Amino acid sequence: MRANRRIEKDLSYSRTSRSPKLIEQIGLFNTTTFAFLLLVFFASASGISVIRATHDYRHLFISLQESREHSNQLGVIWGQLLIEQSTFGVDGRIEQKAVELLEMRVPAVEEIVMAKF
């Protein structure tokens, strides 16, 4: 009977005393620890945001370089088209093509008729 009381006493002691929780063992409720963890969190968030901003900057810079290269190519094509236009716009060339392809000729003075309104 004495042994039963001893076991009951041990059981009642273990029921009343609680073991510390993991958070209490770590010391999270301590102000210094909490401030330190908060500082680590914000420093990590700041580092991640710097990495993200650098990544975005690199992608935007690559896009800018590609746009500049495309603009340069369009400038070259525009220059070629201007040269082509000036070549085809010469009066002598137009007259030459009219004679060669369309078999046109300059009319004689007798063939010219003046129209009056």
Note the pLDDT of residue 31: 84
pTM of the model: 0.49
CA distance 8 to 4: 6
Please, are residues 83 and 77 in contact by the beta-carbon 8 Å criterion? Answer: no
Is residue 115 in some structural domain?
Answer: no
Note the pLDDT of residue 98: 85
For the segment 80-108, the average pLDDT, to the nearest whole number, is 84
Is residue 83 in some structural domain?
Answer: yes
Provide the domain limits for residue 93: 26-104
Please, are residues 87 and 93 in contact by the beta-carbon 8 Å criterion? Answer: yes
Is residue 19 in some structural domain?
Answer: no
In this model, does residue 37 exceed pLDDT 70?
A: yes
Count of structural domains, the chain? 1
Segment 2-17, tens digit of pLDDT:
555 555 555 555 555 6
Segment 47-87, tens digit of pLDDT:
999 999 999 999 999 999 999 999 999 999 999 999 988 88
In degrees rounded to 5, what are phi and psi of residue 21?
Answer: -75, 165
Is residue 34 in some structural domain?
Answer: yes
For the segment 93-114, the average pLDDT, to the nearest whole number, is 86
Is residue 48 in some structural domain?
Answer: yes
The contacts of residue 106 (CB under 8 Å, 6+ apart) are none
CA distance 34 to 44: 15
What's the Rg (C-alpha) of the chain? 47
Is residue 7 in some structural domain?
Answer: no
Is residue 35 in some structural domain?
Answer: yes
Instruction: State the residue for tokens 């010391």.
Output: 27
Instruction: State the residue for tokens 């914000």.
Output: 42
For the segment 28-56, the average pLDDT, to the nearest whole number, is 92
Note the pLDDT of residue 84: 87
